[in-house]
Structure 1
Protein backbone atom coordinates (compact mmCIF):
# COMPACT_ATOMS: atom_id res chain seq x y z
CA UNK A 1 0.00 0.00 0.00
CA UNK A 2 1.31 3.45 -0.88
CA UNK A 3 1.87 5.99 1.89
CA UNK A 4 -0.86 8.61 2.19
CA UNK A 5 -0.26 12.11 0.94
CA UNK A 6 1.01 14.20 3.87
CA UNK A 7 -2.18 16.28 3.85
CA UNK A 8 -4.30 13.15 4.45
CA UNK A 9 -2.70 12.71 7.90
CA UNK A 10 -2.77 16.41 8.76
CA UNK A 11 -6.09 16.44 10.70
CA UNK A 12 -4.91 13.57 12.92
CA UNK A 13 -1.50 15.18 13.45
CA UNK A 14 -3.08 18.51 14.41
CA UNK A 15 -5.38 16.76 16.91
CA UNK A 16 -2.51 14.71 18.36
CA UNK A 17 -0.31 17.81 18.72
CA UNK A 18 -3.10 19.63 20.56
CA UNK A 19 -3.44 16.73 22.98
CA UNK A 20 0.32 16.53 23.52
CA UNK A 21 0.53 20.28 24.19
CA UNK A 22 -2.34 20.01 26.68
CA UNK A 23 -0.78 17.21 28.69
CA UNK A 24 2.94 17.81 28.26
CA UNK A 25 2.83 21.55 28.85
CA UNK A 26 5.83 23.58 27.72
CA UNK A 27 9.18 24.00 29.47
CA UNK A 28 11.78 26.17 27.77
CA UNK A 29 14.76 24.85 29.76
CA UNK A 30 15.94 21.24 30.23
CA UNK A 31 14.58 19.42 33.28
CA UNK A 32 14.43 15.85 34.52
CA UNK A 33 10.98 14.32 34.13
CA UNK A 34 9.36 12.06 36.74
CA UNK A 35 11.37 9.14 35.34
CA UNK A 36 14.68 11.03 35.64
CA UNK A 37 15.03 11.62 31.87
CA UNK A 38 16.26 14.99 30.59
CA UNK A 39 13.36 16.67 28.80
CA UNK A 40 12.57 20.03 27.19
CA UNK A 41 9.78 21.73 25.26
CA UNK A 42 6.67 19.58 24.88
CA UNK A 43 8.18 16.51 26.51
CA UNK A 44 11.05 16.11 24.03
CA UNK A 45 13.76 13.73 25.20
CA UNK A 46 15.63 14.07 21.87
CA UNK A 47 16.10 16.99 19.49
CA UNK A 48 17.39 17.41 15.95
CA UNK A 49 21.17 17.13 15.76
CA UNK A 50 23.62 19.52 14.21
CA UNK A 51 23.10 22.92 15.75
CA UNK A 52 22.72 24.80 18.98
CA UNK A 53 19.37 26.12 17.73
CA UNK A 54 17.02 23.15 17.35
CA UNK A 55 15.44 22.67 13.93
CA UNK A 56 12.50 20.53 12.92
CA UNK A 57 13.35 16.91 12.19
CA UNK A 58 13.98 16.14 8.57
CA UNK A 59 15.42 19.54 7.68
CA UNK A 60 19.15 19.86 7.03
CA UNK A 61 20.26 17.23 9.55
CA UNK A 62 18.64 14.19 7.88
CA UNK A 63 16.50 13.48 10.94
CA UNK A 64 19.40 12.62 13.25
CA UNK A 65 18.60 13.21 16.90
CA UNK A 66 20.58 13.87 20.05
CA UNK A 67 19.36 13.34 23.60
CA UNK A 68 18.39 16.32 25.70
CA UNK A 69 20.93 17.06 28.45
CA UNK A 70 21.42 19.72 31.12
CA UNK A 71 23.48 21.62 28.52
CA UNK A 72 20.72 21.70 25.88
CA UNK A 73 20.00 25.33 24.92
CA UNK A 74 16.58 26.74 25.81
CA UNK A 75 13.71 26.39 23.35
CA UNK A 76 11.00 28.86 22.50
CA UNK A 77 7.46 27.77 21.62
CA UNK A 78 8.16 29.00 18.08
CA UNK A 79 11.06 26.50 17.86
CA UNK A 80 9.21 23.70 19.66
CA UNK A 81 5.95 23.78 17.68
CA UNK A 82 7.43 22.66 14.34
CA UNK A 83 9.51 20.02 16.14
CA UNK A 84 6.37 18.65 17.78
CA UNK A 85 4.46 18.71 14.49
CA UNK A 86 7.26 16.91 12.65
CA UNK A 87 7.71 14.29 15.38
CA UNK A 88 3.97 13.68 15.61
CA UNK A 89 3.70 13.50 11.83
CA UNK A 90 6.38 10.80 11.76
CA UNK A 91 4.63 8.85 14.50
CA UNK A 92 1.23 9.15 12.81
CA UNK A 93 2.67 8.05 9.47
CA UNK A 94 4.29 4.98 11.04
CA UNK A 95 1.06 4.03 12.83
CA UNK A 96 -0.94 4.55 9.63
CA UNK A 97 1.54 2.36 7.72
CA UNK A 98 1.57 -0.38 10.38
CA UNK A 99 -2.25 -0.41 10.39
CA UNK A 100 -2.33 -0.68 6.57
CA UNK A 101 -4.31 2.55 6.50
CA UNK A 102 -7.25 1.12 8.47
CA UNK A 103 -7.57 3.88 11.08
CA UNK A 104 -9.95 6.82 11.19
CA UNK A 105 -8.47 10.24 12.01
CA UNK A 106 -9.74 10.17 15.60
CA UNK A 107 -8.13 6.78 16.32
CA UNK A 108 -4.92 7.78 14.56
CA UNK A 109 -4.72 11.03 16.55
CA UNK A 110 -5.31 9.28 19.87
CA UNK A 111 -2.77 6.56 19.09
CA UNK A 112 -0.19 9.09 17.88
CA UNK A 113 -0.45 10.98 21.18
CA UNK A 114 -0.24 7.69 23.08
CA UNK A 115 2.90 6.69 21.14
CA UNK A 116 4.43 10.16 21.60
CA UNK A 117 3.97 9.71 25.35
CA UNK A 118 4.68 6.00 25.82
CA UNK A 119 6.76 5.17 22.76
CA UNK A 120 5.92 3.77 19.34
CA UNK A 121 7.54 0.44 20.23
CA UNK A 122 5.29 0.15 23.30
CA UNK A 123 2.21 0.74 21.15
CA UNK A 124 3.13 -1.64 18.35
CA UNK A 125 3.97 -4.47 20.78
CA UNK A 126 0.96 -4.02 23.05
CA UNK A 127 -2.22 -5.96 23.64
CA UNK A 128 -4.00 -2.76 22.60
CA UNK A 129 -2.43 -2.97 19.14
CA UNK A 130 -3.06 -6.71 18.77
CA UNK A 131 -6.72 -6.23 19.66
CA UNK A 132 -7.05 -3.31 17.25
CA UNK A 133 -5.46 -5.20 14.38
CA UNK A 134 -7.79 -8.15 15.11
CA UNK A 135 -10.77 -5.84 14.64
CA UNK A 136 -11.70 -5.43 18.32
CA UNK A 137 -11.68 -1.65 18.39
CA UNK A 138 -13.69 -1.05 21.57
CA UNK A 139 -11.60 -3.60 23.49
CA UNK A 140 -8.43 -2.00 22.13
CA UNK A 141 -9.60 1.47 23.15
CA UNK A 142 -10.36 0.17 26.66
CA UNK A 143 -6.72 -0.95 26.91
CA UNK A 144 -5.66 2.71 27.13
CA UNK A 145 -6.81 2.64 30.75
CA UNK A 146 -4.09 0.12 31.58
CA UNK A 147 -1.30 2.55 30.62
CA UNK A 148 -1.52 4.87 33.62
CA UNK A 149 1.53 3.92 35.68
CA UNK A 150 4.89 5.67 35.67
CA UNK A 151 8.12 3.69 35.56
CA UNK A 152 8.32 1.60 38.71
CA UNK A 153 5.05 2.97 40.09
CA UNK A 154 2.32 0.65 41.31
CA UNK A 155 -0.10 3.56 41.72
CA UNK A 156 -1.85 5.16 38.76
CA UNK A 157 -0.53 8.65 38.04
CA UNK A 158 -3.38 11.18 37.88
CA UNK A 159 -1.90 12.94 34.84
CA UNK A 160 -1.69 9.67 32.90
CA UNK A 161 -5.21 8.72 33.96
CA UNK A 162 -6.49 12.03 32.55
CA UNK A 163 -4.39 11.71 29.40
CA UNK A 164 -5.56 8.17 28.64
CA UNK A 165 -9.17 9.26 29.23
CA UNK A 166 -8.70 12.16 26.79
CA UNK A 167 -7.15 9.81 24.21
CA UNK A 168 -10.04 7.35 24.62
CA UNK A 169 -12.57 10.17 24.26
CA UNK A 170 -10.85 11.49 21.13
CA UNK A 171 -10.71 7.99 19.65
CA UNK A 172 -14.43 7.53 20.37
CA UNK A 173 -15.21 10.89 18.78
CA UNK A 174 -16.27 12.46 22.07
CA UNK A 175 -15.14 15.81 23.47
CA UNK A 176 -12.56 15.52 26.23
CA UNK A 177 -13.18 17.05 29.63
CA UNK A 178 -9.82 15.91 31.05
CA UNK A 179 -7.30 18.65 31.81
Structure 2
Protein backbone atom coordinates (compact mmCIF):
# COMPACT_ATOMS: atom_id res chain seq x y z
CA UNK A 1 0.00 0.00 0.00
CA UNK A 2 1.14 3.53 -0.76
CA UNK A 3 0.20 6.84 0.90
CA UNK A 4 -2.68 8.46 -1.00
CA UNK A 5 -3.04 12.10 -1.94
CA UNK A 6 -5.29 12.50 1.13
CA UNK A 7 -2.45 11.30 3.31
CA UNK A 8 0.10 13.60 1.69
CA UNK A 9 -2.32 16.52 1.99
CA UNK A 10 -2.89 15.80 5.68
CA UNK A 11 0.84 15.69 6.36
CA UNK A 12 1.37 18.91 4.41
CA UNK A 13 -1.44 20.66 6.26
CA UNK A 14 -0.22 19.82 9.73
CA UNK A 15 3.53 19.81 9.19
CA UNK A 16 3.58 23.02 7.16
CA UNK A 17 6.55 23.71 4.92
CA UNK A 18 9.67 25.57 5.97
CA UNK A 19 12.44 25.98 3.42
CA UNK A 20 14.96 27.06 6.06
CA UNK A 21 16.09 24.69 8.80
CA UNK A 22 14.48 25.28 12.17
CA UNK A 23 14.24 23.49 15.49
CA UNK A 24 10.87 21.86 16.03
CA UNK A 25 9.01 21.93 19.37
CA UNK A 26 11.12 19.02 20.55
CA UNK A 27 14.37 20.76 19.58
CA UNK A 28 15.11 18.60 16.51
CA UNK A 29 16.46 20.31 13.37
CA UNK A 30 13.78 20.10 10.71
CA UNK A 31 13.14 21.37 7.17
CA UNK A 32 10.46 21.06 4.49
CA UNK A 33 7.44 19.07 5.66
CA UNK A 34 8.92 17.64 8.85
CA UNK A 35 12.08 16.21 7.25
CA UNK A 36 14.81 15.65 9.86
CA UNK A 37 17.50 13.44 8.29
CA UNK A 38 20.73 15.33 7.63
CA UNK A 39 19.26 18.69 8.61
CA UNK A 40 21.61 21.23 10.18
CA UNK A 41 21.41 24.91 11.18
CA UNK A 42 21.51 27.26 8.18
CA UNK A 43 20.32 24.65 5.64
CA UNK A 44 18.05 26.09 2.92
CA UNK A 45 16.18 24.02 0.33
CA UNK A 46 13.83 24.66 -2.59
CA UNK A 47 10.13 23.81 -2.72
CA UNK A 48 10.97 20.99 -5.15
CA UNK A 49 13.41 19.54 -2.62
CA UNK A 50 10.80 19.81 0.14
CA UNK A 51 8.31 17.94 -2.04
CA UNK A 52 10.88 15.27 -2.86
CA UNK A 53 11.76 14.82 0.82
CA UNK A 54 8.06 14.42 1.64
CA UNK A 55 7.59 11.76 -1.03
CA UNK A 56 10.67 9.86 0.09
CA UNK A 57 9.91 10.17 3.81
CA UNK A 58 6.29 9.07 3.38
CA UNK A 59 7.41 6.06 1.31
CA UNK A 60 9.87 5.09 4.05
CA UNK A 61 7.10 5.32 6.64
CA UNK A 62 4.86 3.15 4.44
CA UNK A 63 7.54 0.44 4.34
CA UNK A 64 7.95 0.64 8.11
CA UNK A 65 4.22 0.35 8.71
CA UNK A 66 4.01 -2.70 6.47
CA UNK A 67 6.57 -4.47 8.66
CA UNK A 68 4.59 -3.90 11.89
CA UNK A 69 0.93 -4.15 10.89
CA UNK A 70 -0.37 -7.73 10.83
CA UNK A 71 -4.01 -7.10 9.89
CA UNK A 72 -5.73 -5.88 6.69
CA UNK A 73 -6.07 -2.11 6.35
CA UNK A 74 -8.27 0.15 4.28
CA UNK A 75 -6.57 3.01 2.47
CA UNK A 76 -7.94 5.43 5.09
CA UNK A 77 -6.52 3.34 7.95
CA UNK A 78 -3.18 3.07 6.21
CA UNK A 79 -3.09 6.81 5.52
CA UNK A 80 -3.93 7.67 9.13
CA UNK A 81 -1.17 5.37 10.37
CA UNK A 82 1.25 6.88 7.88
CA UNK A 83 0.48 10.40 9.10
CA UNK A 84 0.83 9.65 12.81
CA UNK A 85 3.98 7.59 12.22
CA UNK A 86 5.44 10.35 10.01
CA UNK A 87 4.95 12.72 12.94
CA UNK A 88 5.87 10.48 15.89
CA UNK A 89 8.33 8.02 14.37
CA UNK A 90 8.09 4.27 13.96
CA UNK A 91 10.04 3.68 17.17
CA UNK A 92 7.25 5.23 19.22
CA UNK A 93 4.31 3.88 17.21
CA UNK A 94 5.54 0.30 16.74
CA UNK A 95 5.41 -0.49 20.46
CA UNK A 96 2.31 1.55 21.21
CA UNK A 97 -1.09 0.50 22.49
CA UNK A 98 -2.47 1.79 19.17
CA UNK A 99 -0.41 -0.79 17.28
CA UNK A 100 -1.15 -3.51 19.83
CA UNK A 101 -4.91 -3.00 19.55
CA UNK A 102 -4.73 -2.75 15.78
CA UNK A 103 -2.80 -6.02 15.47
CA UNK A 104 -5.37 -7.72 17.70
CA UNK A 105 -8.02 -6.69 15.17
CA UNK A 106 -9.52 -4.10 17.51
CA UNK A 107 -9.87 -1.35 14.92
CA UNK A 108 -12.28 0.70 17.05
CA UNK A 109 -9.98 0.48 20.05
CA UNK A 110 -7.01 1.47 17.90
CA UNK A 111 -8.90 4.49 16.61
CA UNK A 112 -9.39 5.66 20.19
CA UNK A 113 -5.64 5.70 20.73
CA UNK A 114 -4.96 8.52 18.27
CA UNK A 115 -6.14 11.16 20.74
CA UNK A 116 -3.53 10.05 23.29
CA UNK A 117 -0.71 11.30 21.03
CA UNK A 118 -1.27 15.00 21.71
CA UNK A 119 1.65 16.05 23.92
CA UNK A 120 4.78 18.10 23.28
CA UNK A 121 7.19 17.88 26.21
CA UNK A 122 4.35 16.78 28.49
CA UNK A 123 1.95 19.57 27.53
CA UNK A 124 -1.20 19.15 25.40
CA UNK A 125 -0.59 20.81 22.04
CA UNK A 126 -3.72 22.18 20.29
CA UNK A 127 -2.20 21.51 16.86
CA UNK A 128 -1.65 17.85 17.74
CA UNK A 129 -5.19 17.62 19.11
CA UNK A 130 -6.51 18.79 15.71
CA UNK A 131 -4.11 16.55 13.80
CA UNK A 132 -5.03 13.44 15.79
CA UNK A 133 -8.74 14.15 15.31
CA UNK A 134 -8.18 14.40 11.54
CA UNK A 135 -6.12 11.19 11.53
CA UNK A 136 -8.74 9.35 13.58
CA UNK A 137 -11.49 10.52 11.22
CA UNK A 138 -9.47 9.25 8.25
CA UNK A 139 -8.82 5.94 10.06
CA UNK A 140 -12.57 5.52 10.65
CA UNK A 141 -13.59 6.65 7.18
CA UNK A 142 -14.96 4.27 4.61
CA UNK A 143 -12.00 5.15 2.37
CA UNK A 144 -11.04 1.88 0.71
CA UNK A 145 -8.80 3.60 -1.83
CA UNK A 146 -11.19 3.19 -4.74
CA UNK A 147 -11.38 6.96 -5.29
CA UNK A 148 -7.70 7.65 -4.61
Residue 173 of structure 1 corresponds to 141
Q: Which has the higher helix share?
A: 2
Counterpart CA distance in 2 for 1:31 and 1:137 is 36
**What's the offset of the Cα at 1:133?**
0.3
Residue 69 of structure 1 corresponds to 40
TM norm structure 2: 0.89
Counterpart CA distance in 2 for 1:15 and 1:92 is 14
Unaligned runs of 5+ in 2: 144-148
TM norm structure 1: 0.74
Could you say what secondary structure the match of 2:120 adopts?
A: coil
Alpha carbons 1:39, 1:45 under 8 Å: kept: yes
**What's the offset of the Cα at 1:84?**
0.6
Residue 66 of structure 2 corresponds to 96
Name the larger-Rg structure: 1
Equivalent of residue 95 in structure 2, options 96, 102, 125: 125
Alpha carbons 1:96, 1:103 under 8 Å: kept: no
Question: In the superposition, relative to structure 1, how do residues 134 and 100 fare at CA in structure 2: closer, same or farther (>3 Å)?
Answer: closer
Counterpart CA distance in 1 for 2:130 and 2:113 is 14
**What's the offset of the Cα at 1:103?**
1.4
Equivalent of residue 37 in structure 1, options 25, 28, 39: 28
Counterpart CA distance in 2 for 1:132 and 1:142 is 11
Structure 1 runs of 4+ off > 3 angstroms?
none
Superposed CA RMSD in Å reads 1.7
Residue correspondences, number: 143
